[in-house]
Structure 1
């Protein structure tokens, strides 16, 4: 049997669960506990919280890897004939993330409205707090952009 298909015995599982008490995940425990509570799951066991954090960390790493792979494939297909080494940086886009999330069964909807820079939010806020303009923070100053 391969490693992926092997069964874990109780001793190994017990050791793994015990090791979670000292393991520091990339996602902080309070953040994980907040979202667990928000989803209706109540626990004070740090091992459970860290197990969920570890699963979330793995998921984020898998999505990032898929997005990076997609970006590299797309980039290589665009620059197939050129040997440009001056710009070897890979920049992930929202479209790369959207594609990677779709691979995991998550559909990312495009947001209808968003502030694209600081001046848009500043203008919107100033319009909302100004007198006589009648604008609102939701769209008074940003609708003309």
Structure 2
């Protein structure tokens, strides 16, 4: 899907379901309150995009470029963001739940008053990131790892 086709789709629908949008250039668009459900957004360019109050549920965003995106009040639920570029993103009052952010780049991101729960951040890079006021709930994984270690001893 090219950029013009995507812009037409957004004008017609605020809810996008079961679409393959991989590789699409959505940079610098206003996608406020747009809902994505079970979409393939691999390698999309969402850089400098306004995603205020957007929702992504069960979407694939592997290798997606979200650098500089506005993620205020965004919801990412059960999404795969493996190797996604989230550098210089701003998120205020956002929710990231049950997402895979393995290898994601979060350089110089500013996330405040947000919650990341039950997410995988293995090999993610946070250099220069400011996560003040953000709650990262990973205790369940720590407990499971510790219990597995203790039970094997």
- The bucket for the TM-score relative to the shorter chain is under 0.3
TM-score if structure 1 supplies the norm length? 0.23
TM-score (norm 2): 0.22
Structure with max Cα Rg: 1
